[in-house]
Amino acid sequence: MKNEQNAPKIRFKGFTDAWEQRKLKELASFAKGSGYSKTDIKAEGTPIILYGRLYTKYETTINDVDTFAEAKKGSIYSKGSEVIVPASGETAEDIARASFVSKPGILLGGDLNIIYPNSAIEPTFLALSISNGEQQKSLAKKAQGKSVVHLHNSDLETVQITYPTREEQRQIGAYFRTLDRLITLHQRKCETLKKLKKSMLQKMFPKNGSHFPEIRFAGFTDAWEQRKFSDFTFPAGERNKDDLDLEPFAITSNQGFIAQSEAHDDFGYMKDVDRKMYIVVKPNSFAYNPARINVGSLGYYEGAENVIVSSLYEVFQTAEYVDDKFLKHWFKTKAFQDWIERLQEGSVRLYFYYDKLCECIMSMPSVEEQRKIGAYLDKIDNLITLHQRKLETLKKLKKAMLQKMFI
């Protein structure tokens, strides 16, 4: 059925015809995956897709599979043209998603609904249609269950699919496959850089009482010296007793110092808060929440203007012979986590106040070597941030285009 109003907001040049609408059962045949579970996974064997991986691993098009199983008699294999939809999930919204399996010979495990589109429907386009817009909402309503929801092929058969010509479908599919490849590329780069950072934190700082790290920059050979935090840090926070109109900040484990207007949706509450109770933080200061430092809520403020933080926070600065960027990265090491676990105190909630921080001991090289290490680890962090921002931009673009290129 054609409807003159059936056209998306954005289309590729040269396409003007109205899109058709049919029930999915008129456009495809259906099957069910065969009974495999996580216990069947092996280090080697035949590639297999289990339904749970559709939530955590795969984008719209599945090109590569990294799980394997020993093939059983009567198994269902991909033909390289099917669309799969999970038959079980935790929520109705999550279960209404689909992926196109682009390669033949892959085992399709249990709890997968399999759709074989006919010549009118391009698989990537169908997977995108099912996973977004009205089709996704329609499937979510059909999902049944309490702790676990289920979706059956009989539910899929009744979904209304609105679609253009095969050629327009191909171009739409190719566009989103390109976006998915870019998203995957930046995700992998982020993961690789995070692994590198983790490895360098382990190797560029001494371990187990040693005075020498595993990896060093050329030209540095001296033993690192043991220093107590009370020797090179000092309290630096003061009450905002003059009620200065300074921007309030919070500290998160992922982003460090962040404006409260960005950290909280209900930032309007700040107009009723007594700012005199807040602590003034000067540039080049560290601050942390004593009740949340165990989950990484410690930050270094590199801004140019003074800001304020909650009176709950501890604020300190360091001596001139300490490179703050070097210290910032040491706070991410296992050595510091061990100190927190050893010294934190409390009954219902554990705290790690500044007096406990002062009891910590760390190995420290010359300030020149500190600067080298700090700058190198900062460079890795900057690259991670760069790829994360590109990733966020691509995901936002994909979301926007899905809304505008489908009906």
What are the tens digits of pLDDT across the range 33-85?
988 888 899 999 999 999 888 887 788 899 889 999 999 999 999 999 999 99
Same structural domain, 213 and 244: no
What domain count does the chain have?
3
For residue 261, the model assigns a pLDDT of: 79
Question: Domain check: are 241 and 320 in the same one?
Answer: yes
Element (H, E) at 339: helix 334-343
Beta bridge partners of 68: 42, 47
Tell me the two tokens of residue 112. 């997968």
Please state the pTM of the whole predicted model. 0.84
Cβ(40)–Cβ(49) under 8 Å?
A: no
Task: Give the CATH number, domain containing residue 144.
Answer: 3.90.220.20
Q: 397 — phi, psi (to 5°)?
A: -60, -45
Shared domain for 279 and 324, answered yes or no, is: yes
Residue 210 lies in a domain: yes
Does 114 lie in the same domain as 28?
yes
The two beta strands, 314-318 and 46-49, are unpaired
Q: What is the pLDDT of residues 226-249, one digit of tens each?
A: 999 999 999 999 999 998 989 999
What is the model's pLDDT at position 368?
97
Give the pLDDT confidence score for residue 266 in this predicted structure: 46
User: What domain range includes position 204?
Assistant: 170-217+365-407
Do 379 and 319 belong to one domain? no
Query: 143 and 53, same structural domain?
Result: yes
Which of 120, 148, 163 lies at the terminal end of a domain, its last residue?
163
- Please check whether residues 175 and 42 belong to one and the same domain: no
Give per-residue pLDDT as tens, 141-153: 888 877 788 899 9
Same domain for 138 and 191 = no
Is residue 19 within 8 A of residue 162, CB to CB? The reply is: yes
Given this model, what pLDDT does residue 269 score? 47
Same domain for 159 and 25? Answer: yes
pLDDT along the chain (407 residues), means of 10: 72 94 96 89 93 82 91 93 91 85 93 95 95 86 82 93 96 95 94 97 92 96 97 95 91 87 57 81 96 89 94 95 97 94 90 96 97 98 96 96 92
Residue 5 lies in a domain: no
> Could you tell me if 232 and 178 lie in one domain?
no
Give the integer Cα–Cα distance in Å for 7 and 192: 41
102 domain-assigned = yes
Please work out, in degrees rounded to the nearest 5, the angle formed at the alpha carbon of residue 251 by the alpha carbons of 238 and 388.
145
CATH code where residue 370 lies = 1.10.287.1120
Both 247 and 184 in one domain: the answer is no
- Burial label, 305 (beta-carbon count in 10 A; 0-12, 13-18, 19+): exposed
pLDDT of residue 267: 44
Q: What angle do CA 362, 363, 369 make, to 5 degrees?
A: 130
Residues 197 and 150 in one domain: no
